[in-house]
Amino acid sequence: MPKNIIDKDKIKSALVSTAGQLVRAHSSPDEALGELFIDVQKRNIYGDGKVFVDLVPKLRPKQLRQAYLSEKNKPDFDLQSFISNNFTEKKIHQAEPYINGGRGIEEHIVALWHHLERRNRLDRGSLLALPYKYIVPGGRFNEQFYWDSYFIMLGLAANDDWDMIEGMIKNFAYMMRRFGHIPTANRTYFLSRSQPPFFSHMIRLLSRHKGKTVLIEYLPYLLTEYRFWMRGQSKLGKSEYQSYARLVQVSDGSLLNRYYDNKLTPRPESLREDTDTAGLDTARDPERLYLHLRAAAESGWDFSTRWFNSASGIASIHTADIIPIDLNCLLYQLEMTIAEAYQVLHQPILFNRFKKLADRRARAINKYCWSPVKNFFVDYNFHKQVPTDCLSLAGVFPLYAKIADAKQAAAVAHMIEKSFLKEGGLMTTLTESGQQWDGSNGWAPLHWIVIEGLRNYGYHSLADEIKRRWIATNKKIYNEQHRLVEKYKVTNGGGVGSGGEYPLQDGFGWTNGVLAALLNEDHHPKL
């Protein structure tokens, strides 16, 4: 068959193959280890709950449970020794081997890609096998994370490492075949939730290198991703349902999405933190609270006042009541990418179908998520049927997705320059709460979104100034401490970021990726 002829039968076969040949993974540690798991996490043996759930057991879960129950009440029993004898701890790779005061920051990033590279072809404890090599964020995050990976890929593209990019995309395709969606990362305890859906952006990035046939090759997986987020449409046809799983039907009948999770228990990697949060408001149903905490974890913004119902803090979290502006812009882009793939396939009916779905979503975003009072895009509380009060960098996603009008874009640009832009870059929100996705913390992925969004509407000077300040902050810390970290402080002279459930992490995948992509622009200016 000539190369320029599309094999539609092959595409149909691929669609069938991704439609649901799902394989059950090993149980999450909380399910597999029972009382042992609860005791270890509640006693805070490691200080960071993720350490224990990442250990590799030497025995089968049933044997471990039996051994624990038979030994725990003995007078000389020591829980730490029991863990050491029955689990293998994989060392966390830190960035210290690459500390070199004489190395430039771009050379440092290239060295870090090798340091952060992983490969595992067998399931080991909670870590799930993947067929290809991948890049991890770093520190405690020793897996292929979903939305982190797109920003890592930006840096890999700057280094022309397209084989790694394609391998990581194939890993995501593999996880969709195996689990029906892309989980937060390749861990058993992450399988009940996803993350911001950047898969279509990964495909578009690869298409820059390989051409638009990539859209056709990965169309079955784009559709699998879409089905995951849109699951429950038949339920919403019944009057008693306003929301189901990740899908919400708003008052005019439009379908929008929210973050969600399929479980109502504490997150295994943060059991102590979640149960402590539940203890802050004993009048609240703990299962509903755990759902909202898990949904915030799916958002990637864990945690932020975006999800809080009041200034009282995290105990008021209600993520699943909110239609997030960023999520719906990403799903608009997914719908547009699917439409374009069908256009390349010369399927006008299917192209028009997904184009109409995207157009309807764009109209709904503008109707429900634009605040004429704030003059900015915000999230929407569909239970109360009102926009939320929180101003955050998520409000720039409509510019990134190109669905804002010129007047809205001007208002957003003005707000960014007036309120969010500080000496060291962009604040995540305008609220100082102590949560890591708030206040003076600046994050690499959000800087990329804002810079690209502003460029889409011609605000190049502002985008360049944000870029300049963000690069300067990264370089300042690198020159002082010879490391790149997950988040930075952008006020009061700048520094490393703070807040969150764990210590600041070095590495760091998406910081490296965005910084490399921005620095590469200076070497290869856009026309």
Residue 377, φ and ψ in degrees, nearest 5 = -80, 135
- Locate 475 and state its tokens: 């370089």
Cis peptide leading into residue 37 (ω within 30°)? no
Residue among 371, 354, 366, 367 nearest 398 (CA): 366
**436-462 burial string, b = 16+ CB within 10 Å, else e?**
bbbbbbbbbbbbbbbbebbbbbebeeb
Q: Are 230 and 245 in contact (CB under 8 A)?
A: no
- Locate 387 and state its tokens: 């926009």
Cβ within 8 Å of residue 62, ≥6 positions away:
none
Residue among 105, 48, 30 nearest 520 (CA): 105
**232-243 burial string, b = 16+ CB within 10 Å, else e?**
beeebeeeeeeb
Q: Are 95 and 112 in contact (CB under 8 A)?
A: yes
CA distances from 410 to 7, 375, 404, 414, 470 (A): 45, 10, 10, 6, 22
- HSE-CB of 284 using CA atoms within 13 angstroms: 19
Which segments within 41-193 are labelled E, that is strand?
A: 56-57, 87-88, 117-118, 134-135
Q: Are 501 and 269 in contact (CB under 8 A)?
A: no
Residue among 352, 319, 350 nearest 243 (CA): 319
Beta strands across the sheet bearing 495-496? 441-442, 488-489, 495-496
Q: If you write DSSP's letter for every residue of 302-364 in order, what string do you get?
A: -S-GGGBSSTT-GGGB-GGGEE-HHHHHHHHHHHHHHHHHHHHTT-HHHHHHHHHHHHHHHHH
Q: Are 448 and 196 in contact (CB under 8 A)?
A: no
- Catalytic sites, residue numbers: 302, 486
Burial class (CB in 10 A: 0-12, 13-18, 19+), 470: buried
